[in-house]
Structure 1
Amino acid sequence: MASHHPSLITNSAIPQATMKIAIFSTYQYDEQFFNRFNTGHTLTYFVLPLNEQTASLTKGFDAVCIFVNDIVNTAVLNALHANGIKLIVLRCAGFNNVDVKAADDLNIPVLRVPSYSPEAIAEHAMALILTLNRKTHKAYNRVREGNFSLEKLMGFNLHNRKVAVIGTGNIGKAFCKILKGFGCRINAYDLYPNQELISLGVTYDTLEATLQDADIISLHCPLLDSTRHLINEQTLKLFKRGAMLINTSRGALINTADVIKALKSGQLGYLGLDVYEQESKLFFRDYSEDVIQDDLITRLISFPNVLITSHQGFFTAEAMEQIATTTFANIDAFVEGKALVNRATI
């Protein structure tokens, strides 16, 4: 069921033409920021995700705005095209959930937000590391129950520890700079080494060499065919026994079943996730009164050395503002016939 809300126009730079935009997978915070930074378009919010079952809701709209777990495959695109949709805008950086080639064939541009406060996600990755390491989540619960014991709360110094950073784009770069402040030794893997990071002392190597002997491995790369299940049974064997794995990028970078086996054997010592391969069926919803049917995530939750957050790494006021302003800039560029600088390409 769609929820309809009038747009609050606060920006005086109204484009000459406006669009009727269906915004899917929305919550109160989406409405707050999109209403605030709307440049004059008519916005309709849908709590439902966009997929084959909900594509019919786009009839009468000019554009759709989607998020990470909306599915825009060939079937959805054909439905959008039949309904007169002229533009797809993503309020995120990744676009692996959209068949961009099929969209191009239908002459429907796909625009994205290539960067929105990379520091937000980098800082969340560090928060996962610090929480897992120093067990502050467990200490918090203990003290609330009157338990002031330090038993089983010992962590390790991050100073001089080797951290493997897989992917040094905007987020990986911000993460490396945070690590430098902790005095970590940073090894990185990226097809395109960053010269600024090299000048700061970051060492680049092959994936295999980067993974070996690392105390912490943090993933900051996009989901591509070449990176799907990058962490699997074979690459986990390269890990230093007891190492920590952090993923704030895309869930499918990890083969979850293989990671569970590594946790059970002790090969993997800690796991921090802000993303999950099957998250579209779970994240952003409240299932606290339900029986979760996903056996893999229920198994992960049962481990004392696993910390999972529900894709909240991006969730800061600064990031939400950048997402909204860039999304409307993308829409206005399309309306005004300007260059589509943030067009997704394959």
Structure 2
Amino acid sequence: MKVAFFSSKSYDEEYFTNVNKTFDHKLHFFETRLDAHTVKLAKGYQAVCIFVNDKADAHVMRKLSQRNIKLLALRCAGFNNVDLDAAEKYGITVLRVPAYSPRAVAEHALALILTLNRKTHKAYNRIREGNFSLERLTGFNVSGKTIGVVGSGAIGRAFIQLLKGFEPHFLAFDPYPNEQLKNEGVEYVSLEKLLSESDIISLHCPLSPETHKMINAQNLKYVKQGAMLINTSRGKLIDTEAVIDSLRKKQLGSLGIDVYAEEEKLFFKDLSEMIIDDDTIARLISLPNVLVTAHQAFLTREALEQIAETTLQNISDFNNGQIAETNHVGRKHLGK
């Protein structure tokens, strides 16, 4: 099939081109993201492939349909940027990569925890400037602490398995508890109890109307004083302004994020020579107990290869009329 890739970077082109040798699709890579202004680029293609910050709303879906696009292939797990009603209305099949590399994201969450805690990023900068002082670099032992995991899907489970070596006490919040994790000693509790008892809170759930701003001013008051909050899932899971306020009041101890509510205006771009017109991200970056990475948790060689393989297989399956139900996103598949 002839496929248009939006929001593509050098690593996308490298891995998809290499993996495509076994599929033989015709791939064209656009650096621009898909939106109402760029949808015209899809003309002449049979399928469109998008990433997390592309915009596939009702207007874009209608335009894609007018250009005879029948397949929207997501090279990610989340689909909150896709209007599924419009997809159904215009007969566009939406396929995704449900679990490309849970370990990659889980390992990045651990990296954020250890970096924030032991302040290795600050120590690195100090040493480069000839400052060998240990003042204000004190951390804590992760071993024996209580770790709260919000969402126990594939990534949440990988995160728990990864941190077992620290011998913590695990609390979890999920509407659908995992029986295996329960048997392994993970205690499922309410979100309020998890927030109030956890030393480290890590978010591993998709963005939906139910999870939108699930960490907000109302429940941040339950947070254990000095707790660390980690988010490697979706930026809009947290109310950023409320989190900043909690940090300033010294209720929340530290914050590590790989995602940001307004990231589509910033992430995946080099803005080093520009004035960033976003006061919220500027405040986050200025806080000494905040660590921000730009949606790189997925970025490992293994994950990129698996994303390419699954996405291209999805395209081939669609072309052959053999869609894998686990990768198919639609209202009827979500029980709506």
The CA distance in 1 between the partners of 2:218 and 2:163, in whole Å, is 27
Between 1:333-342 and 1:180-189, the stretch displaced more is 333-342
Are 1:20 and 2:2 matched, yes or no? Answer: yes
Q: Equivalent residue for 1:166?
A: 150
Q: Is 1:119 the equivalent of 2:110?
A: no
Cα deviation, residue 101, structure 1: 1.8
> Equivalent residue of 2:27, what SS?
strand
Deviation, 1:311, is 0.2
Superposed displacement of residue 144, structure 1: 1.1
Paired position in structure 2 for 1:345: 330
- Structure 1 partner of 2:90: 106
Separation of aligned partners in 1, 2:323 and 2:304: 24
TM-score if structure 1 supplies the norm length? 0.94
Q: Percent identity?
A: 57
Within the candidate set 227, 246, 254, 1:243 is matched to 227
Task: Please give the alpha-carbon distance, in whole angstroms, between the structure 1 residues aligned to 2:265 and 2:37.
Answer: 14
* 8 A contact 2:216–2:242 mirrored in 1: yes
> Equivalents in 2 of 1:215, 1:285: separation in Å?
33
Trace 1:208-227 onto structure 2 (pairs within 5 A): 208-227=192-211
Q: Secondary structure at the match of 1:212?
A: helix
The answer to whether the 8 A contact 2:232-2:257 is kept is: yes
Q: Secondary structure at the match of 1:21?
A: strand
Amino acid at match of 1:280: E
Q: For the residues of structure 2 that align with 1:338 and 1:313, how far apart are their CA atoms?
A: 31
Counterpart of 2:240 (choices 256, 259, 266) is 256
Amino acid at match of 1:106: Y
8 Å CA contact 1:247, 1:274 repeated in 2: yes
Q: Does 1:146 align with 2:130?
A: yes
Amino acid of the structure 1 residue aligned with 2:26: T
Corresponding residue number in structure 2 for 1:34: 16
Unpaired segments ≥5 residues, structure 2 = 332-336
Kindly provide the amino acid, as one letter, of the partner of residue 85 in structure 1. Answer: I
C-alpha separation in 1, matches of 2:165 and 2:281: 33
Q: Give the Å deviation of 1:340.
A: 3.4
CA distance in 2 between counterparts of 1:272 and 1:295 reads 18
Q: Secondary structure at the match of 1:110?
A: strand
Deviation at 1:247, TM superposition (A): 0.2
Q: Is the 8 A contact 1:212 1:238 kept in 2?
A: yes
Rounded to whole Å, the distance in 1 between the matches of 2:127 and 2:195 is 37
Aligned residue in 1 for 2:180: 196
TM-score by length of 2: 0.97
Amino acid at match of 1:37: V
Range with greater deviation from structure 2 (175-184 or 61-70): 175-184
Poorly superposed stretches of 4+, deviation over 6 Å: none
- 1 or 2, which has the higher helix percentage? 2
With 69-78 and 144-153 compared, the bigger mean Cα shift is at 144-153
How many equivalent pairs are there? 328
Q: How far 1:339 sits from its partner (Å)?
A: 3.0
8 Å Cα contact 2:314/2:323 also seen in 1: no
- Local SS of the residue matching 2:197: coil
Asked if 2 retains the 8 angstrom alpha-carbon contact of 1:188 and 1:202, the reply is yes
- 1:74-85 alignment to 2 at 5 Å? 74-85=58-69
Q: 1:298 aligns with which of 266, 282, 290?
A: 282
Q: Is the contact between residue 188 and residue 205 of structure 1 (CA under 8 Å) also seen in structure 2?
A: yes
The one-letter code matched in structure 1 to 2:247 is L
Q: Look up the SS of the partner of 2:171 in the other structure.
A: strand
Residue deviations 1:291-333 (CA, integer Å, cap 9, x gap): 1001000000000000000000000000000100000110011
Amino acid at match of 1:255: D
Structure 1 residue aligned with 2:334: none
Q: Deviations over 1:60-106 (max 9, x none)?
A: 11000000000000000000000111100000000000001210111
Quick one: which of 176, 181, 205 aligns to 2:165? 181
SS at match of 1:226: coil
Distance 2:75 2:8 in 1: 11
Q: Work out whether 1:333 is the aligned partner of 2:317.
A: yes
Task: Answer yes or no: is the 8 Å Cα contact 1:179–1:186 preserved in 2.
Answer: no
